[in-house]
Amino acid sequence: MSRCGTPGAEAPRLATITNDSGEHDVCVTAESRARMTGMRTTTLGAGGPEVGRIGLGCMGMSWAYDEGGRDDATSVEVIRRAIDLGVTLIDTADVYGPYSNEQLVGRALAGRRDEVVLATKVGLLADGSRAVHRNGRPEYIKGAIDGSLARLGVDHVDLYQLHRIDPAVPLEESWGAMAELVEAGKVRAIGLSEVSVEDIRRAQAIHPVASVQSELSLWTRDALAEVVPYCEEQGIAFLPFSPLGRGFLTGSITSPDQLPEGDFRRHLPRFQKEAFDANRAIVDAVRRVAERVGATPAQVALAWVIAQGDYVVPIRGTKRLRYLEENAAAGDLELPPDALAELDALPAPVGDRYGTALPGVRGR
């Protein structure tokens, strides 16, 4: 039997291909998985691993959204189906749960580790009251990676991201500790989240920045002013979280009252009734474009995000198979110029991103 992958690690999947010389078993990797499905691909920045144009964010499977509706068995099924569809960038964090989301992802990836580009994060801590705090101390970061590897059931992660800069710790110290993890072989590449161009430059002076993860959608476009262009220029992947405006841009949420009790969106300014009603004009415009191009509003909103750069890979979160399939199809949707222009001209939303909610998360 053919063997592939890392010696001593769980054997990855094999696929049989046929060519002029007969049948051959080949290792299924993240790169080959995306190509096998036909999904458009890009690389995780210049020279990075190949990934599908849509990634999967796993936070909502365990944390922040409808926690009462948590279903780990279905979430495992969603993650594994995502890989089948060519959604090969899988994103989690130790703070999600906390910790339980990494455990969930680890279970889902059993036997399929080599088929994905696995990303997790460090630097945020959540207590029992859901208050979130930052910790960028080098000694904390160096210890946290071992916990993440154990929960994920892997010997390395492909991308380790600083979830937020700790204002009490110089970025150079946090980034230097993460660079040491690359040297130790525990991490393949490192990235930042919710940062400015100046922050990126400070980090680059110490170690290459593989990715920047920040919010980007049709109702959160701040990063387009400076950060996304800089990332494109530097060959850095840009990974938008909440590319569907926390579900708002799908058009499926018609009232804030639909949100489950305990869902953190109930505390966000844009989901308060007056702002919510005003922002429905944005959804209406997205729906009109969707009808013209024969797609869903969610697919149009994701396709607009992808169009913002060659290395832009939105990490859309879902815990439902039907939405996963819909999201994955957006990876092959290319919007015509007139549709892009119409979406570019949409007004800014009413309401701030976070307001007073989640003080440890908002801001740089």
Q: What is the DSSP letter of 223?
A: G
Question: Do residues 334 and 302 touch, judged by C-beta distance below 8 A?
Answer: no
**What is the C-alpha to C-alpha distance for residues 199 and 256, in angstroms, rounded to an integer?**
36
Which residue numbers are catalytic? Answer: 96
Joined tokens for residue 257: 């009252």
**How many residues are recorded in the chain?**
364
Q: Within 10 Å of residue 46's Cβ, how many Cβ atoms? A: 13
Dist. CA 277–CA 2, nearest whole Å: 58
Residue that the structure tokens 């797609």 belong to:
295
- Cα(246)–Cα(8) distance, integer angstroms: 41
Sign for the pseudo-dihedral over CA of 164, 170, 172, 174: negative
**What is the Cα 196 distance to its own chain's centre?**
18
Report whether 327 contacts 298 (CB < 8 A). yes
**DSSP designation for 220:** B
In the chain, what's the furthest Cα-to-Cα distance? Answer: 66
C-beta of residue 363 within 8 angstroms of C-beta of residue 132: no
Residue 214's beta-bridge partner residues? 240
Can you tell me which residue has the tokens 């071992």? 146
Structure tokens given for 103? 């455990």
Nearest to 42 by CA among 201, 316, 232: 232
Q: CA 256 → CA 43, 174, 274, 307, 346, distances in Å?
A: 37, 39, 10, 30, 22
Answer for the pair 219, 245: CB distance below 8 angstroms, yes or no.
yes
